Structure formats: C-alpha cells, structure tokens
Chains A and B, each alone.
Chain A
Amino acid sequence: MTEDQTFTIEVDGQQLEARPGQMLIEVTDAAGINVPRFCYHKHLSVAANCRMCLVEVEKAPKPLPACATPVMNGMKVFTRSPLAREAQKGTMEFLLINHPLDCPICDQGGECELQDVAMGYGGDISRFTERKRVVRDEDIGSLIATDMTRCIHCTRCVRFGGEIAGLRELGATGRGEHLRIGLYIEHAVASELSGNVIDLCPVGALTAKPSAYQARSWELSEYDGVAPHDGLGSNLHLHVRRNRLMRVVPRENEDVNQTWISDRDRFSYQGLYSDDRLQRPMLRENGKLREADWQEALMAAARALKDASGARIGALISPSATLEEHYLATRLLRALGSNNIDHRLRQGDFRGDAADPALPWLGQRIADFSNNQATLLVGSWLRKDQPMLNHRVRQSQIDGALVMAINPVAYDFNYELDVDIVCIPSAMTKELAGVAAALGVDTLGIEAVPDPAHHGIADSLKSAAQGTVLLGNAATMHPDFSLLRALASGIAAAAGVTLGFVGSGSNDCGAWMAGAVPHRDTGGKAIAPPGLDAAAMLEQPLDLYLTFGVEPEMDVAEPARMAAALGAAQLLAIGSHTSPWLLEHADILLPAAAYAETSGTFVNIEGNAQSFRGVAAPPGETRPGWKILRVLGNLVGLDGFDYAESTEVRDEVLAACADLAPDNRIGDLQDRKPKSAPGEWERVGGVPIYAVDALSRRAHALQLTPDAWGGELRLNTAAAAALDLGEAAAVRVAQGEGSAEFEVRIDDAVPDGCIWLPTAVPGSEALGAAFGPVAVEKA
C-alpha cells in the first residue's frame, strides 16, 4: 500500500479516513475527536510516556496509547468506552497525586493542560494521603521560570531540545520517582528557540519569566500579530491587557513558523516599555531640544522638507518599517524631487545596484527549505540571524541533506556542517570563486584553484535535486557583497539550485516593492538616473536627512561616518525610541508607534504580505508612522495622501506591484575589483541576534542571555598571544577616525588575524564598517 492510499477506521462509531503510517491520535485530531494527551506533540517524536491518551481498541486486551498506535484498516476504536475512560482517569489520578495543585499561585493557571484535562478526568477529592514530592528548582536563565515540583515528566521540553533546538540542554536524570527534568549542568539555556518550551510545557513547571505573575490568562485578549525582527514574519499571538502587550506566543502557521517562534520574537516586546520611548514630538530650538505639540512639530517638519532642495534630501528607512510606511516615505521623497532613499542600511557594497533584480527574495518558499538536499550558506550565521529558517535547514539535514558554509567565523550551528570553510573576510570572494571554478563558471577574474572542499560543495550542490545558495547577513554587510552575489548567482545557476537572500529586517521585500531604494520606484520600476544609495548618502553629504525607525549609530553600515553626516545636516527623525545620540543630533523628533502598536503589513522574505492591526496603545502622544507620513504629505501639498485607513495604502502598493514577481536574476557586474584588502587585523562584523533593532536592544531579558553581546571583542588564542592579551583584558580598536575600547574574549571560532566585533553593540558606534582593516592594540 502506498502512502497516499487511504482506508477507513471507526472511532466512536464514526467512520474516519486514515493513511497508513498515521498514529491514531493524528486521525482523531483531524476529525476533532478529543483524546486527552500530555506528552504528544505533532512536531515532536512520539514518547508515549504520559499514558493519558489510552483508548480502547477492538481485539486489544489492554487500552492502547492513541499517540503511538498505528492505524490499521478496519480498526475499531473507542475513546470514551468504560475501559478507555477508566484508563484515562487512572492516569489522571497518578498525574495529580504528586502535583502540588498550587493553581492559585501558578502562572499557568487558566491555560494549563493539566488543569483542563483534570476538569474532565480528575476526581473531586484525592485518595492520595501520602506526602507529596518536592523538587528543587534550577535557575535556567532570564527567559524561563522553573517550578519543577509541578513537572509531570512528559518530556516535551527534553525532546524539543534534541529534536528542534538541536541543543540537549534539558534532560531527564534519575529514575522512578526521582526522575527529574533539569539541566545536566546548571547554566542559562543558550538556545535561541528556548522559549518554546514554555508553550510546550503542559503545566506550570516552565513559564515565561519576563511576564511572571503579571497577568492571569483570562485577563488577556489575544490578537494576531507578525514578528518584526527577521524576514520570516513568524505568526504571533499577542496577548494584551488594558492596551498593554503582556506577552507573545506563536500562532500556528505550518508554512512559516509551524508552532514555534524564536526567543527574539517572543520577548522583544519588553523593548516597547523601555524608559527611553519617545513620547512627544520634539524640536531643536537654539541648539536645544524641547517638547512640542504635534501641530507645531509637523509644521516644522513640513517646512524643513519644503525648504530643502529636493535632491539634497536623503531618507533612511528601517528595513523593518511596514510596507505602508515604506510606500508613503517613498512617495513623499519622490514628490519632493529626491530619489535618495534606501532601506539597505547595513549593506556593505552597492556596486551591484545596476545588476539588481527587481525584487530579491529567499528564492524558495520557507517550507521548501526543509526539503532541500543541499544548502550552501555564504556569510551567514543563519542560526542566530533567522532562527526559524535555520530550523528548516536543520530539518533538511536531519533528513539527509548536506549543509555547507563559507563564513568569516566558525559560527556555532545546532548541527554539524558537512563542509565548513572559515576564512578571513577578505578571502571570502576567493573561497567562493573556488566553488565557482569547480563548477566551471565565471570567477569574475579572481584566481581560484579549487581544493577538495570547493569540489565537495560544488558536487553536493550539483547532485541535489533541490538546493540553495543562501547569502546571509554577513555577506550583505561585506565590502564585496556585489562580487559574492555575482559568484553565488553563477554557482547556483550552474548547479541548478536556487539563489536566496535572507533580508536584514522584517520587511525587505516590502521595501523593494514600495520602492524604498534609489534605483527603483514602487512596483519595481527602474529609475534613471538613480538617487543616492545608503552609502553614497554619506560620501556626498546632504542637507536634510529623514530617518524612519533608525538609530543611526547602530542600524547602519558605517556608524561613525553616518553619525557625522547626519549630525552635520538637518535631521528629521521619526521613530519609537530616543537615544543619547538622537537627543544630541536630531532637529525634529516625531514619535512613531512601534510594532504591535500600529496597523500595517510586512512582506516576508518569501514574498508573502501579512497584514496586522495595532493592538497595544503606544505611550504618550505617539502616533502610527503611516499617519505621520500621511500628514507630512498633506502638509507639503501632495495629492492623493488622504488615506483614512492603512489598508487603503496597502491596497494601493499591492495593486502597483501586481506585475512584480520575486526574482533573483542578477545582471552583469561592471566593477569586478575586490574592495576588501587584507590588513594586519581584519574586523569581522555582523549583528548579534539581540542587537538587530531598537526593540530587541532594549529587551531586558534578552540582554541577560548568553547571546547578548556586551562591550566585548573576540579573537582566537594565537591572536590573543600575539597581542599579549588574556581573557577579559582591555583592548583598543581603531578604525577610520574612531577608536574604542573593548574587553577580550578568547574564542577560537575566529580566524587568525581577525577580531570579531559586530556592529550595533556598545562601543561600535565609534567605529566604521563591519568588515575591513582595523588597528588593534592592548589598552
């Protein structure tokens, strides 16, 4: 019998269609027949240890667990027969005897699977009169609160660690009654997906620490949301009480995030409630910022825009701004006569603009990543940059796919890379050219003799029926991004796999569609001559800059130069948070609603437009960004800026993009000279997972995890010895005009001659681009 043949089984007298290989519970779940369960989870392996799902099967002498009993043609099942009920009640009684039943003081109360099931299957009074078990808690970090006495040993969290997170952090130790779920070694969990165990835990043993004891589940209203930090657009449920976002949990979407979300998406909401939210418009008067009312501030902003000459205005828009915001900003700029607009704030190289496709994207659907047979990551720490996409790649590897990487750091993945080329940043083009040469495609004039690793990558890609070459965030930030991209494109074409981009924010595709780039307008229409790109706006300083959702000292490719350029010009900053830098340099500050506070749309990196509503109240006088831009448009006298709803804006952009299809075809590259040159010390940049944007940088609980990057710099043992530095020693880094001090961490993942020092971390404001030569000395 093949997989797609079906047969019929009978459950409680109902005829149900089933496929061979399915477990009983899958069939009953699909039919809406409720079988109680604790250990079963559709995305985890079957453990069959809780014994809650016992049902009666005709001809079986004993009740069988529905989660682990394969369906058979003609099988007759009774989920509520006396035998089944007695078995279920028996299990329930056992689960409750040692459970503390401290529901009134438990955060899980009201949304507890044990509580719910006990309503149906538990007794009124306990027959257990012995002493209950008490279990010591462990501190497992800032995200997850533990109360292990409540644990019912379903091992969902343990299986999640091994099977999904790829980190066996939580485990079961001990035997019998002494079986304990805990860390093998007490430390803070280091998985970027760890928060999912909170949802998985059916009881209150693992709960969310940041929201501990802040709300009861029945006080919360649940709304749909979309995650704002990476291109996946994970689907969220936002839990709101009295207009305040209290917590975030996944909303199931099999095509995007399945039942999971990253810790960043789960806990970043804390940043909404940081002390430095911008609450009122501010104007600089005689060199000093003062609060202003909206009317006055908007008038001032409109005047500044009108007074500046069009071509002397530049706009830097966050790649995580909404589609509507991108579109209105684009229209505003172009109407003012400027094409100087960009959302590619961290991109390291724009020489390829003329060869750009109209709408770069992932190259495949997110779900298809699980089925790839070969993946080549180029300049990507996929695990930390796009955690849920990395999850798909990991699944593909479990199914036998090969995953390979060419990276400037031996990034820590939650799987073994099959080929792992780690090189200094300036050698990345050469390594990639090696793969190109192995495939016999254009190496852009780079001399490359393929070695066995290059051949290995080439052969794996070529023999894969489906695969991808994925350019990651480090590749985008690289000074030779255009070369890396051209090489990757040639490799992908020759090997017959797709080329993919991951995006730097939550709405890169939306930004392209809206036309928030200097060389293409809404709908991908080419603009000639193009305006200034994000880098050119530094090289040719302008008179007035409009920033939207950007912290210039953090969110751009070259913080020090950007800050200088923006500081010297007039600066109209629209955003949700203030920073010391903005307070010192901005001339007009307009408070805009952040994620969850505004309606809008993110087009995820697979080109899927997902709209959402504003569900939490922004602080003070903050207004939705699209409304601010709409009023500015009105005030500068633009036609057609009279939208009443953000959906009207969205519909207009989407209509204009009707003919725009995602496309990764790269044109010919004119300038093929590598920009990056080896220096005595090379900086390896990137952006740490919890530093990507204003919100995550301010999420306190995330900043306490091992993934948070403090004022540190990493180099390997040999480099530390060469500089006579030990762990925690002070080191001074100079780059361009600026320099800053950092604390040394010795990390042999960093190649020789390199320092690993990301942008958007404390101290990096004073420095230059993420990649390039730097001077390093003992401080």
Chain B
Amino acid sequence: MTYQRNLVSLNTLNEDRSWELATYERCGGYTVWRQVIAGEISPKEIVDAIKDSGLRGRGGAGFPTGLKWSFMPRSAAGQKYIICNSDESEPGTCHDRDILRYNPHALIEGMAIAGYATGADVGYNYIRGEFMDEPVPRFEAAVKEAYDAGLLGKRILGSGVDFDLHTFVGAGAYICGEETALLESLEGKPGKPRFKPPFPASYGLYGRPTTINNTQTLASVPMILRKGAKWYAGLGPEGSGGTALFSVSGHIEKPGNYELPMGIPFKDLLEICGGILGGRQLKAVIPGGSSVPVLPGELIMSCTMDYASLQQAGSSFGTGAVIVMADTTCMVRVLQRISRFYMSESCGQCTPCREGTGWLYRMLTRIVDGKGREEDLELLLEVANRIEGRTICALGDAAAWPVQSFLKHFYQEFEYMVRNEGRSMVIETG
C-alpha cells in the first residue's frame, strides 16, 4: 500500500529552500492568515474548524486542540498569550526540530492564527537550548521574513490585527517541556511545574490566559484551514484526524521523520522505514516517546498508529516517536537507561518523583550490576505504582509507565538477570 507523505506539517519539504517565505507562499502559505486579517474568517469559525478536523495535540497528551482553544476567554480584557512548545526533549522525538528547520513558516502562520482565534496578540516560541545551531536561527530568520513582509507586528497589512512573535531559548531541561514548567521558565524562574488547577487558559504566563500547543500541532493548523476540516479528518480514522510526523528510531534500517496519515498500520510504517535493522526480529516498540508503555513486537504488529488502537493495546500515541527494538535488546538495560533519564530530569519538587525515580534507577542499576534480589522486582513495581498518579506533573507517570510495562511484558528477563548475577537473557549485539 502506498501512502501520501508530507501532506500537512512538512508540506514544503520537497521544495528547494523549503524554509523560505517565498517557497512557503508558493505552496499556498499565508493564504489563511491573509483571509483572517481581511476579516473573512471569524475566531469562532477557526475554533470550530479545528474541532471538526479532529486535530489532537502532538506534545504527548493528545488533547483535542479545538477544545483547548475554546477554553480561552477570548473576549475578556487584558493580555493573553499563545505559546508554542518547541522544547522537544522526549527521548525518541525529533519532529519539531524538522518543522523548525524545514517549514518554520507553517508554525508562524499557525501561531498567528491560533493567537487570533484565542484572543492572544503576543506569542512565544519556547525552543530547547540544544537547537541553538540550526533550528533556532532558521526559525528566527523566518520570523524576520514574516515581519519584513508585514505579516507580523502591529496593524498587520493595514488591518486592526496585531500579532507579535518572540523566540525564547531554553537551557536544556526536559521538564521545561511540561507546559506549566515552561511558563515558569519563560517568566525567568526555575522550571518547576505548577499545580493545576488553575489551568493555563485561566492562569498562564504572568497569570494571564494562555494557550500552549506543541510545534507540530500548531504547524498543522494552516493546512487544516486551507484544505478544510473534513479533508484533514478524513486522512485518519475516527478520533485521530490528519497526519502525524512519526519519528522512527532504534533498530531500523531507515530511521527518520515520516509524515504519514494517522491510522497507518504499524507494519506498513515498519516497511516504509526499511524494516528492522539487519533483518532481525522485532522484539518491542515504544510507540510514542520514552514515556509511554512499551509494547511487545507481536502486539504492535497488529496495531494501527492512532490514539484508539495504541490505547487499546495498553500504550499510547504519545508524541508519535516510535522506538524500535530488535530481539538483541536487553530490556533490563533499556529500562535502566530510561529510568536514569527520569531521575536526572525530575525537577525535584514533589516527593514521589524526586525520591522514587532515583530509587527505581538505583534498584535497576543494582540488578544490572548483578546484585539484584528476587524481591526487587515486586518492589520496582510498587515504587512505580506509588509514583504514578501522585505527582504534580506527568513526569511521575512517565517514569512509572515504562517500569510497569517492561515488567509486565518482559518479566522473565528481569527475573533471569536477578537469578544469574546480572547476566542478560539476550545476547546483545548493539
């Protein structure tokens, strides 16, 4: 089966100098924004179209974007903000980077439209610090082009519409991708998530109503409005409209970013990516970034890549970052590595995450070092259970889910290692 690629967020990808304004406009860019400025589309029409399109947030939680926008008190007086989350730090995830590099104007147009729809005339793009070399300058150059063309700023193209867009570069903390930690960081404070409620739509940046969306989410907006909500919704199955930019990594022949329709069967995705590295057997897949539960190969082979199917299989669509592991992978070591990540990236403010993530990692390390005890496996699970659902932000859940799912699906490997002084059941070949 063939699939159309790059229909939405990377639509300029095959053009020469895809990131330039001229290219973007040649491909139909900014037509919606111009209509908005001309007053041809109302904020309500925009929000309704986004709702109808079935667009869900690509930042990980899959929250319906149109619904989120409708929470904004659009007509209330005072400053409101639209924020793009380009902190992209979820292990395995790298699609926002390519949007910033190859199609930054789609994001700019998306943010401007989102701002207009939610009553925000100031936008910030929070970009992870590690993107300093290429994505940040690309994005900034595009913003400058848009300003120079009169597409951003005050009284845009002589209308009454204002929209200012600023770049903010983070300093390398995964937690700053959590939306309220991002707000704190943007305000110049340590990136520690806020307790919710209140939610950003009522109390966001500097206490003002704020919408935060992922880069890919926002970059999808112009095309949805250009081609219509129906068109977009029809690209994917019920409940999972449009395309997704899959970041495929791991033991795969052709790792990379693939924009494909939602609902593509996993095996087709695998095939498009050239199959498992070296023709080996598939062992497991983490289908949505390191935070979502792992799925054994045989289970995911029957899944389609959308919200419903993956949830039914016991995992989640997450960020669409597909981490593929071949049969030579030691799952204990993978989990140890993942746990180290969450330990290091915990902001430390709430007890279960601060204390629990380190405990998990230390137990796993002890097991890998051959000093594991049988009772450790139960304790690992209990510690994970005592973190899950008890923390201020979802990092706690993200640290717990891998532990729970790895133990659920690969218990034998853990047991073997504990009983055999740290020897792995699998022969690793990297």
Contacts and interface: CB of A to CB of B under 8 A. Distances in A.
Interface of A: 46-52, 54, 61-63, 65, 68, 70, 87, 90-91, 93-95, 97-98, 127-128, 130-131, 152-153, 155, 172, 174-179
B39 to A, nearest CB: 39
Given A91-B390, A175-B175, A177-B358, A50 B348 contact: no
Contact of A130 (B173, B350, B357, B359): B359
B390 A153 contact: no
A94 B346 contact: no
Contacts of A91: 351-352, 386, 390
Contacts of B389: 61-63
A175 B355 contact: no
Given A130-B359, A153-B351, A176 B195 contact: no
Contacts of B345: 175-176
Interface in B246-291: none
Contacts of B195: 46-48, 65, 68
B363 A177 contact: no
Contacts of B351: 49-52, 91, 94-95, 152-153
14 contacts: A48-B392, A49-B351, A51-B352, A51-B390, A52-B351, A63-B390, A70-B197, A91-B390, A94-B352, A94-B355, A94-B356, A95-B351, A175-B346, A176-B348
B354 interface: yes
Contacts of A128: 359
Nearest to A133: B358
Contacts of A65: 195
Interface string B333-357: 0000000000111111111111111
Nearest to A154: B351
A61 B355 CA distance: 23
Contacts of A50: 350-351
Interface in B377-424: 379, 385-386, 389-392
Given A91-B351, A176-B344, A177-B358, 20 more contacts: A48-B350, A49-B349, A49-B392, A50-B351, A54-B390, A61-B389, A87-B390, A90-B385, A93-B386, A94-B352, A94-B354, A94-B356, A95-B355, A128-B359, A155-B349, A174-B348, A175-B347, A176-B345, A176-B347, A177-B343
Nearest to B173: A175
Interface in B168-212: 173, 175, 190, 195, 197
A-side interface mostly: loop
Contacts of B350: 48-51
B144 interface: no
- How many of chain B's residues touch chain A, expressed as a range? 20 to 34
B379 A127 contact: yes
B390 A176 contact: no
B77 to A, nearest CB: 18
Q: Give the top 10 A-B pairs by smallest Cβ distance, nearest first.
A: A179-B348, A90-B386, A176-B346, A94-B355, A62-B389, A130-B362, A48-B195, A176-B348, A49-B349, A177-B358
Contacts of A131: 362
A90 B390 contact: yes
A176 B181 CA distance: 14
B365 to A, nearest CB: 9
Contacts of B343: 176-177
A94, A128, A153 interface centre (most CB from chain B within 10 Å):
A94
A176 B352 contact: no
A724 B350 CA distance: 56
B68 interface: no
B34 interface: no
A155 B363 CA distance: 28
A687 B389 CA distance: 55
A90 B352 contact: yes
B154 interface: no
A153 B359 contact: no
A65 B349 CA distance: 14
B5 interface: no
B149 to A, nearest CB: 41
A750 to B, nearest CB: 33
Nearest to A88: B390
Contacts of B386: 87, 90-91, 93-94
A87 B396 CA distance: 14
B143 to A, nearest CB: 31
A179 B352 contact: no
Contacts of B379: 127
Nearest to B349: A49
Contact of A51 (B173, B362, B391): B391
Contacts of B352: 51, 90-91, 94
B226 interface: no
A54 B390 CA distance: 8
A148 to B, nearest CB: 14
B366 interface: yes
Contacts of B344: 175-176
Nearest to B358: A177
B392 A153 contact: no
A179 B390 contact: no
B355 A179 contact: no
Contacts of B362: 130-131
Nearest to B194: A48
B370 to A, nearest CB: 15
A501 to B, nearest CB: 38
A87 B190 CA distance: 27
B349 A98 contact: no
Contacts of B391: 51
Nearest to B355: A94
Contacts of A175: 173, 175, 344-348
Nearest to B385: A90
Nearest to A171: B190
Contacts of A179: 347-349, 354
B279 to A, nearest CB: 40
A126 to B, nearest CB: 11
B385 to A, nearest CB: 8
B379, B391, B392 interface centre (most CB from chain A within 10 Å):
B392
Contacts of A98: 355
A154 to B, nearest CB: 9
A666 to B, nearest CB: 44
Given A68-B195, A94-B356, A177 B348 contact: yes
A153 B190 contact: no
